[in-house]
Amino acid sequence: MPLPPALKQYLNIADLHHEARRRLPLPVYQYLERGSDDEYSLRNNTSAFDHYQLQPHALADVSRIDTRTRVFGCEIDWPVILAPTGMSRLFHPDGELAVARAAAQAGSLYCASTFSSTDLESIAAASQGPKMFQVYVVTDQQLNNQLIERARNAGYEAMCLTVDTVVGGNREAVARAGMSIPPALSLKSMLQFAARPRWVWSYLSRPKWDLANLSERIRPGRNGKRDMASYLGGLLERRLDWTHAERIIRQWNGPFAIKGIMSVADARRAREIGASAIFISNHGGRQLDCTPAPIELVAEIRAALGADIEIIVDGGIRRGTHILKALAMGANACSIGRPYLYGLAVAGQAGVEHALRLLRAELERDMTLSGCASIAAITADLVRDPAPRLRPIPTTREVSP
């Protein structure tokens, strides 16, 4: 597909980020971008990649680069999947439909969120590409079962359970900007919305949306004040534990990932209860702050678990070299959230396609320059850790003599 001329000026994900920021009202931008507490995790997710260096394989035949791989039982054209993100219609009126179509067009896999602003059936119908459905466990057991069965009936190939969000993260910048869900004009936010009339016009001229997979549950009158955020606050199941997760894995009975795994011990446990994959993820730095970056955990978790589980690295990926490093350290694929949302905010489906095109072109060039003609050729020796920052954590307590 030819590149729309207006998108040519955006040469990388940072360019798309800059433009998305220019187009979105501040409260919406803050919701997209910001992290929790002091945003250590948010910053570290990307900056941690800089710690590792790439040592290319010389004189490899790179006349053909093959980026195809398999995850969740699906063949995809390159090792990047689109992470679940709630309420994409905040960023563009076509929301999740635009994202699902762009993912299919780019030969990637889209993971639709429980908190989508489009219902899961319409998302599934929008594209022929491989799709995964992300569930949150909620206090309403009937709703949990319904979501799983709806995803199965709609033809989703895989399921993912997010486990790092039993309560929302403390995103102060979002609160400070006066963001409510769905956006409403408060005195605080009015000026900020007024500064983005194009967004306001396109938002107001389209039909109103809500959390389409849950709309039955959030009808006005049912929850009093129609405030999704407070409804959702009480919806998430805080008693969520390994038994719940195992039950859902059995119920799904197909490719299944646990998203939000951040340690070897939990990765082992995920495999024991039947997960075929994990997302090493801190939710893009939006939940618990002060966690390691997912990239810092990949080699350790892969070494401990062996080849027997699919590992997806999720958080901070903005460059082809980031994907290359993650794969070399043992990931099967990477997952991106904000990068495709920037594209969505800039130009809907064409913008998401552009974000994916940029990342894929970078990855192909980086594979060529590093002497890796296929995903299998991206081996551990490609990455150098110039100064291991931490001593390995001892498995038994060290006793001083």
Q: Shortest approach of ligand FMN to residue 269 CB, angstroms?
A: 19
Tell me how far apart the alpha carbons of residues 30 and 396 are, in angstroms, rounded to a whole number. Answer: 43
Taking CB under 6 A as the criterion, the residue among 134, 276, 291, 332 binding ligand FMN is 134
Between 277 and 373, name the residue whose CB sits nearer to ligand FMN: 277
Between 262 and 375, name the residue whose CB sits nearer to ligand FMN: 262
Residue 274 — left, alpha, or beta (φ > 0 → left; ψ -120 to 50 → alpha)? Answer: left
Per-residue binding string, ligand FMN, 69-88, x by CB under 6 A, is --------------xxxx--
- Binding flag, residue 180, ligand FMN (CB under 6 A): no
Per-residue binding string, ligand FMN, 44-63, x by CB under 6 A, is -x------------------
- Binding flag, residue 323, ligand FMN (CB under 6 A): no
**Residues between 17 and 46 that touch ligand FMN (CB under 6 A):** 32, 45
- Binding flag, residue 287, ligand FMN (CB under 6 A): no
Amino acid (1-letter code) at residue 57 = H
Secondary structure string (H, E, C) spanning the chain: CCCCHHHCCCCCHHHHHHHHHHHCCHHHHHHHHCCCCCCHHHHHHHHHHHHCEECCCCCCCCCCCECCEEECCEEECCCEEECCCCCHHHCCCCHHHHHHHHHHHCCCEEEEECCCCCCHHHHHHHCCCCEEEEECCECCHHHHHHHHHHHHHHCCCEEEEECCCCCCCCCHHHHHCCCCCCCCCCHHHHHHHHCCHHHHHHHHCCCCCCCHHHHHHHCCCCCCCCCHHHHHHHHECCCCCHHHHHHHHHHHCCCEEEEEECCHHHHHHHHHCCCCEEEEECHHHCCCCCCCCHHHHHHHHHHHHCCCCEEEEECCCCCHHHHHHHHHCCCCEEEECHHHHHHHHHHHHHHHHHHHHHHHHHHHHHHHHCCCCEHHHCCHHHEECCCCCCCCCCCCCCCCC
- Total site size for ligand FMN, rule CB under 6 A: 22
Stretch that binds ligand FMN, among 9-17, 48-56, 234-242, 276-284 (CB under 6 A): 276-284
Taking CB under 6 A as the criterion, the residue among 30, 144, 162, 370 binding ligand FMN is 162
**Residues between 347 and 376 that touch ligand FMN (CB under 6 A):** none
Taking CB under 6 A as the criterion, the residue among 39, 289, 296, 314 binding ligand FMN is 314
Taking CB under 6 A as the criterion, the residue among 27, 129, 255, 316 binding ligand FMN is 316
- The answer to whether the CB of 161 falls within 8 A of the CB of 135 is yes
Tell me how far apart the alpha carbons of residues 217 and 361 are, in angstroms, rounded to a whole number. Answer: 43
Stretch that binds ligand FMN, among 53-61, 139-147, 296-304, 311-319 (CB under 6 A): 311-319
Catalytic residue among 17, 18, 51, 283: 283
Taking CB under 6 A as the criterion, the residue among 35, 129, 337, 351 binding ligand FMN is 337
Taking CB under 6 A as the criterion, the residue among 315, 320, 330, 348 binding ligand FMN is 315
Q: Shortest approach of ligand FMN to residue 231 CB, angstroms?
A: 15
Q: Any idea which residue has 């299919």 for tokens?
A: 104
Taking CB under 6 A as the criterion, the residue among 171, 196, 271, 338 binding ligand FMN is 338
Q: Shortest approach of ligand FMN to residue 185 CB, angstroms?
A: 21
Residues 6+ apart with CB under 8 A from 391: none
- Binding flag, residue 258, ligand FMN (CB under 6 A): no
Stretch that binds ligand FMN, among 117-125, 183-191, 222-230, 315-323 (CB under 6 A): 315-323
- Catalytic annotation on 283? yes
Taking CB under 6 A as the criterion, the residue among 36, 108, 113, 144 binding ligand FMN is 113
Q: Which residues are catalytic?
A: 283
Interface residues with ligand FMN (CB under 6 A) are 32, 45, 83-86, 113, 115, 134, 162, 259, 281, 283-284, 286, 314-317, 336-338
